[in-house]
Amino acid sequence: MCNWTCEEFVRRHVTHGEVAGRRVLEVGARNVNGSVRPIIEALHPQSYLGIDIEMGDGVDEICDVMALTDRFGEDAFDLVVSTELVEHVRDWRRAFNNMKRVLRADGVIVVTTRSPGFKIHGYPFDYWRYEREDMRRIFADFTILALDDDRVAPGVFVKASKPADWRPADLSNVCLHSVATRRRTDDLQRSREIVFRAGYWAHVYYRRMLSESIRGRVKRAVGWLRFR
């Protein structure tokens, strides 16, 4: 999924030469509110495979990002695309490493994701926020070809190529902004994650089950009690 600025980034930065006659993998391909697939398919790839953890529009095969190398092996694709996925993956280091590994030498990866300030959005859950400097560190083992901020919402877009002598970068000391803790951390404790998940879904069901007028009354009642 992606917004129109993601689509614009792909349209501007992914070239015909990088796609025509080549193998493309889209990770997190389910089309919820937009897809870059038509843009890339118009450049005539040899093949285009969309994977996700559940079937839906744009998904050709169910496969978790954690299983990419097990399923496809290394150096399997010429272009890897992932729009609005990596903020939803708890083990983000492994996710990036797997996407890098299935990409052949001199291949290109395109990633779009959200930055601090973007609202919580669970598909099926939400963990991280990325900034430009995070992408520079994550792709320190690649050549960054384009790095932009989303102009309409907090987010960051990156395009990078894999060198012929690629060696994976050490990401163990990289800290990301956690949605759960609202600060940078190198990992998310399972207990903190459970508490945050419970609070998030309680809020979701509260909004779904109660009308806006009733929620307003509850909010006013809580405010009245607070200042008694």
Q: Bigger pLDDT: 179 or 221?
A: 179
Does the structure show a pLDDT above 50 at 95?
Answer: yes
pLDDT at position 57, please?
A: 95
CA 178, CA 56: separation in Å to the nearest integer?
A: 28
- Convert the pLDDT of each residue in 40-77 to its tens digit: 999 999 999 999 999 999 999 999 999 999 999 999 99
In DSSP terms, 62 is beta-bridged to 52
Dihedral of CA 123/78/131/138: which sign? positive
pLDDT at position 192, please?
A: 62
pLDDT at position 157, please?
A: 98
- Convert the pLDDT of each residue in 122-147 to its tens digit: 777 899 999 999 999 999 999 999 99
CA 228, CA 221: separation in Å to the nearest integer?
A: 11
pLDDT at position 225, please?
A: 39
Does the structure show a pLDDT above 50 at 153?
Answer: yes
* Amino acid found at 127: Y
Question: To the nearest whole percent, how much of the chain has pLDDT over 90?
Answer: 75
- When computed from its CA atoms, the radius of gyration of the chain, rounded to whole angstroms, is 19
Q: What is the DSSP string of 41-66?
A: HTT--SEEEEEESS--TT-SEE--GG
- Convert the pLDDT of each residue in 20-38 to its tens digit: 999 999 999 999 888 999 9
Taken in order of first residue, the domains within the chain and their CATH numbers are: 4-185 (3.40.50.150), 190-226 (no CATH)
Does the structure show a pLDDT above 80 at 184?
Answer: yes
pLDDT at position 7, please?
A: 96
pLDDT at position 55, please?
A: 95
* Mean pLDDT for all residues in the chain: 89
Confidence bin at 195 (pLDDT 50/70/90)? low
Does the structure show a pLDDT above 70 at 78?
Answer: yes
Task: Calculate mean pLDDT across residues 145-167.
Answer: 97
pLDDT at position 221, please?
A: 56
Does the structure show a pLDDT above 80 at 14?
Answer: yes
Which helix (H) or strand (E) segment holds residue 129: the answer is strand 128-129
Q: Bigger pLDDT: 120 or 205?
A: 120
CA 15, CA 44: separation in Å to the nearest integer?
A: 11
Question: To the nearest whole percent, how much of the chain has pLDDT over 70?
Answer: 82
Does the structure show a pLDDT above 50 at 222?
Answer: no
